Amino acid sequence: MSSALENLSQTVDDAAALFEVTLSDAPLPETDREAALAAPKFGTVFTDHMARVTWTSATGWGNRRVVKYGPLLLDPASAVLHYGQEVFEGLKAYRHADGSIWTFRPEANAVRFQKSARRLALPELPTGDFIGAIAALVRTDVEWVSSGDEASLYLRPFMYASEAFLGVRPTLEAEFLVIASPVGPYFSGGVKPVSIWVAEDYHRAGAGGTGAAKCGGNYAASLLPQMHAYEMGCEQVCFLDASTNTAIEELGGMNVFFVRADGTVETPELSGSILEGVTRSSILQLLTDRGHTIVERRILLTEVQEGLRNGSITEVFACGTAAVVTPIGRLAGEGFDLTIAGGDAGEVTMSVRTELTDIQNGRTPDRHSWLTQLV
């Protein structure tokens, strides 16, 4: 079995076997499950079970289990409810044509989860427990992984400070869970370019802050500017750097790329306030393989405006696990409104999207060994 844990002397099987499974006494009836899988709405329906690991500073990580999906018991004084000590991840499980189920670069998510936890002063979950929890949950809820075209099971690992204590210091107790939700093709009825509003009054993260960590607080900070983007007739918001308000950073939950007419592809360098996407790094690799010149650097909004006006930037796209690759057809902000590629999806954008989803779904060889088999 292909394994992300090969160099860790622990196999996916070993890691999953540490989880004690207690089956739900009330799983969703098959007909309801089939209906949910036929028309999944992102993040609204969850599988029958959840994986869980508990941490205390005294005993470390323990009590690995898969239990019935359901509400959590939270003390009202739980630190997470007051000081936002929480981190999360997002990845997917894909069913291939032969029925086997795989996930994409889970060790990258596990390592990022450790980095996020460190920044939020939460305990670091070992990679084996991260992947073991995912494997144990997917094996338990295996019928929830649809074989439908472009369908997958979205996995949401997260950790929160559960200690009941109002003093301001790192928690001495934490809970790690994985929940799962079936997702269909992100773009039903074909890929449709989105419009982006560049926020100049709000930032999602600043130098030395938590921008490079995947934590709920960053998302909380992005919601008001996101609402403003809607009001301005755009679907998503793009943030600039907080220090100078001039360099493009990323969207609320997606990294951003610019394709130039000469084939050069540019993306903002990891500034410390940008989240390092697994999709971002995979796309950088795929485009490098194709011979594109890749530039990771500080990219000014003014350069992008000029490039779109004079035609030297031909495509702009955003990327992340949920939507994979999303073409951007319009970039607007205070005093400008620019159409990109005539508002259509560009060629590089669409071909890299196809290549990545083909690898994830087992339709093309996994030449970088990015897939880990779960079932």
Ligand X SMILES: *Cc1c(COP(=O)(O)O)cnc(C)c1O
Give the binding site for ligand X (CB under 6 A): 90, 214, 250, 253-255, 275, 277-280, 320-321
Q: What is the spatial distance between Cα 9 and Cα 15, in angstroms, rounded to a whole number? A: 10
Q: How far is the CB of 183 from ligand X (least distance, A)?
A: 13
Q: How far is the CB of 70 from ligand X (least distance, A)?
A: 26
Query: Cβ closer to ligand X: 217 or 307?
Result: 217
Q: How far is the CB of 214 from ligand X (least distance, A)?
A: 5
Q: What is the DSSP string of 199-234?
A: ESS--S--TTSSTTS--HHHHHHHHHHHHHHHHTT-
CA distances (Å), 208 to each of 122, 243, 251, in order?
Answer: 17, 11, 19
Nearest-CB residue for ligand X:
277
The closest alpha carbon to 156, from 48, 75, 43, belongs to 43
Q: How far is the CB of 318 from ligand X (least distance, A)?
A: 9
Query: Cβ closer to ligand X: 66 or 283?
Result: 283
Residue 343 backbone zone (phi > 0: left; psi -120 to 50: alpha; other: beta): left
Q: What is the spatial distance between Cα 247 and Cα 178, in angstroms, rounded to a whole number? A: 35
Amino acid of residue 157: P
Q: How far is the CB of 103 from ligand X (least distance, A)?
A: 12
Q: How far is the CB of 91 from ligand X (least distance, A)?
A: 7
First to last CA, the chain: 9
CA distances (Å), 28 to each of 135, 146, 280, 322, 349, in order?
Answer: 21, 15, 36, 24, 38
**Cβ–Cβ contacts within 10 Å for residue 52, how many?**
19
The closest alpha carbon to 127, from 4, 281, 277, belongs to 4
Residues 6 or more apart whose Cβ sits within 8 Å of residue 297: 266, 268, 269
Pairing relation of β-strands 91-95 and 152-161? Answer: antiparallel
Q: How far is the CB of 158 from ligand X (least distance, A)?
A: 12
Query: Cβ closer to ligand X: 40 or 217?
Result: 217
Question: Which phi and psi angles does 178 have, rounded to 5°?
Answer: -130, 125
Query: Cβ closer to ligand X: 125 or 278?
Result: 278
Q: How far is the CB of 54 from ligand X (least distance, A)?
A: 25
- Is residue 64 within 8 Å of 129, Cβ to Cβ? yes
Query: Cβ closer to ligand X: 204 or 330?
Result: 204
Query: Cβ closer to ligand X: 151 or 278?
Result: 278
- Is residue 113 within 8 Å of 177, Cβ to Cβ? no
Q: How far is the CB of 76 from ligand X (least distance, A)?
A: 28
Query: Cβ closer to ligand X: 74 or 224?
Result: 224
Q: What is the spatial distance between Cα 262 and Cα 372, in angstroms, rounded to a whole number? A: 36
Query: Cβ closer to ligand X: 128 or 277?
Result: 277
**Cβ–Cβ contacts within 10 Å for residue 17, how many?**
13
Query: Cβ closer to ligand X: 56 or 354?
Result: 354
